[in-house]
């Protein structure tokens, strides 16, 4: 191999970066940034359906090494246009999620989220 095209083998370096997250601060910031109303569509004209989803309580987190589990309590209001009349229903539901995460070699974040369970706190009432 000539000097103009020499290949250099550089040993791989590892740099440990300790990261600390304070769960209480993270929960507080998350709930504040999300606000109370998470989704709202009041237009019955496009699909004969209006819906509003808001947090009924704060979202709580459980953080492990490669995953975050969290509970999202929602108050759901739905209004459906049935041509002759409108019907409304309201209920409270808690949905549990698990997000697995990893930091790739290029420092991008890869996540996979799944619903693990749900429970009706207050079943819908018409």
pLDDT at residue 87 in the model: 94
pTM of the model: 0.75
pLDDT at residue 2 in the model: 58
pLDDT at residue 10 in the model: 81
3-state DSSP of the chain? CCHHHCCCCCCCCCCCCCCCCCHHHHHHHHHHHHCCEEEEECCHHHHCEEEEEEECCCCEEEECCCEEEEEEEEEEEEEEECCCCEEEEEEEEEEEEEEEEEECCCCCEEEEEEEEEEEEEEEEEC
Return the domain boundaries, the chain: 37-125
Per residue of the chain (126 residues), give pLDDT as tens. 556 666 778 887 877 878 777 899 999 999 999 999 999 999 888 899 999 999 999 999 999 889 999 999 999 999 999 889 999 999 999 999 999 999 898 889 999 999 999 999 999 987
pLDDT at residue 5 in the model: 65
């Amino acid at each position: 191999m000539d000097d103009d095209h020499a290949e250099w083998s550089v040993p791989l370096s590892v740099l440990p970066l300790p990261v600390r997250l304070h769960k209480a601060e993270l929960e507080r910031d998350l709930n504040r940034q999300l606000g109370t109303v998470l989704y709202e569509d009041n237009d019955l004209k496009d699909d004969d359906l209006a819906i509003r989803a808001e947090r009924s309580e704060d979202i709580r987190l459980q953080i492990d090494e490669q995953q975050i589990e969290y509970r999202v309590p929602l108050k759901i209001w739905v209004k459906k246009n049935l041509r002759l009349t409108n019907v409304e229903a309201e209920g409270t539901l808690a949905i549990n999620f698990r997000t697995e995460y990893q930091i790739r070699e290029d420092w991008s974040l890869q996540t996979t989220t799944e619903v693990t369970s749900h429970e009706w706190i207050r079943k819908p009432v018409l």
